Amino acid sequence: MYRSLIHSGGQIKAFGMDLNLKPFSSHGSIAAAIPFFIFVAIAVGLQYFQMAQMNNRNRKTGTPMPSQQAAMQRFLPIVFAYFYLIIPAAVVLYMIISTLIRIITQDLMFRAGVSNPHKGTQRAIPAPDSKDDESSEVPNEPKPSTPKPLVSRANAKPPAPKPQPQSRSRAKRKRKAR
């Protein structure tokens, strides 16, 4: 790759354009600069799409999003657009491809239920009048545990020491003493 870059004079030719150039570099014409601006627009659009995908999933699960986070999600792709305008097109192409991979990965994870471990599990809900009735539970289902109250470490009592097993000779002495 190094030899290819040296042999080509530092040009990275792909898609009919030099990926070593920036959108505001000296191009032969305005028409030659248009693909660079299209790369920037695609990169920013994909970032907005990825954020919308995450926001839709959060809305479905009922997770509220703070307004400050929502404002940052709208503003950050615009900041990245500035960076995409001043860096070489090869880096913008890298960002486009990595954003596409993240979008596809997130979609597959959400569909498979990997990101939501409770998706697809059914829990048996006992009837109100049968609290201890074992027949109303579904077999092989874990019983829901009751949450333990939170105790701060300052107020927590140390655990009671476990009784140590007596040595055999001590036990014999006790028996003889009786």
The model's pLDDT over 60-109, given as tens digits with 9 standing for 90+, comes to 777 777 888 888 888 888 899 999 999 998 899 999 999 999 999 999 98
pLDDT of res. 22: 82
Question: What band does 44 get if pLDDT is binned at 50, 70 and 90?
Answer: very high
pLDDT of res. 95: 93
Distances (CA, A) of 31 to 3, 95, 159: 31, 23, 76
Average pLDDT over residues 108-120: 70
Question: What band does 116 get if pLDDT is binned at 50, 70 and 90?
Answer: low
Between 75 and 151, the more confident residue is 75
Distances (CA, A) of 133 to 39, 73, 128, 146: 64, 50, 10, 17
- Domain regions of the chain by residue span: 2-112
Question: What band does 45 get if pLDDT is binned at 50, 70 and 90?
Answer: very high
User: What percent of the residues of the chain are helix, what percent strand, and what percent coil, each to the nearest 5?
Assistant: 55, 0, 45
Between 69 and 41, the more confident residue is 41
The C-alpha atoms of residue 95 and residue 72 are separated, in whole angstroms, by 19
Question: What band does 31 get if pLDDT is binned at 50, 70 and 90?
Answer: confident
First to last CA, the chain: 90
Between 176 and 67, the more confident residue is 67
Helix axis angle, 89-112 relative to 67-86, nearest 10°? Answer: 150
Q: Where are the beta strands (DSSP E) in the chain?
A: 13-14, 17-18
Question: What band does 141 get if pLDDT is binned at 50, 70 and 90?
Answer: low
What average pLDDT does the structure give for the chain? 75
The C-alpha atoms of residue 119 and residue 122 are separated, in whole angstroms, by 9
